[in-house]
Amino acid sequence: MKSYLLDTSAYSNLVRGDKAIADIVRSADELYVSIVTIAELHYGFECGTRTNENKMLLIKFLNSKKVRTIIPDHSTVGNFSTAGKKMKEVGHVLSHHDLWLVAQAIQHHLTLVSYDKDFTFVHKAKIKDFKLEYIKL
């Protein structure tokens, strides 16, 4: 089963019509979006000029049949701290937002889809069960 967790850059590029992310979304059995990503998107919408249009587009996407929203919980916390420590040990610190996504991807056995090159450093930290579909722009 193909189950993906989309980060902010993946969703944004999907909305912009990027073919690579559209292909991943079409091929997915399940798509997940973290509440952390939803918060980042809403922040961006508030800072932009098409706030309501972007919010409505996101609501439509989140209500699609194969999309599920996930929320960090107590189980996520252990992955957050372990992954954060391992990243620090290899000399690369992720933002807390990105670290929550790594923790949730591990917890739910999801492949994180991103255009953000910071996530490629997670592999150097040898964080178990972390899978990444990194898309280069």
Confidence of residue 131 (pLDDT cuts 50, 70, 90): confident
pLDDT recorded at residue 132: 79
pLDDT at 104: 96
Fold exhibited by the domain 3-134: Rossmann fold (3.40.50)
pLDDT in tens, 5-37: 999 999 999 999 999 999 999 999 999 999 999
pLDDT per residue as tens digits for the range 68-124: 999 999 999 999 999 999 999 989 889 999 999 999 999 999 999 999 988 888 877
Q: What letter would DSSP give residue 95?
A: P
Q: Check whether 137 has a pLDDT greater than 70.
A: no
Chain-centre distance for alpha carbon 7: 2
Q: Both ends of the chain: CA-CA distance in Å? A: 26
pLDDT at 28 (0 to 100): 96
Which amino acid is residue 48, in one-letter code?
G
Q: Which residue has the tokens 């992720």?
A: 94
Find the mean pLDDT for residues 59-72: 97
What token pair was written down for 18? 């990027």
Q: Are 102 and 86 in contact (CB under 8 A)?
A: no
Q: Would you state the pLDDT for residue 44?
A: 96
Looking at residue 55, what is its pLDDT? 97
Taking the CB of residue 115, how many other CB atoms lie within 10 A of it?
Answer: 18
CA dihedral 50, 16, 5, 87 (to 10 degrees): -90
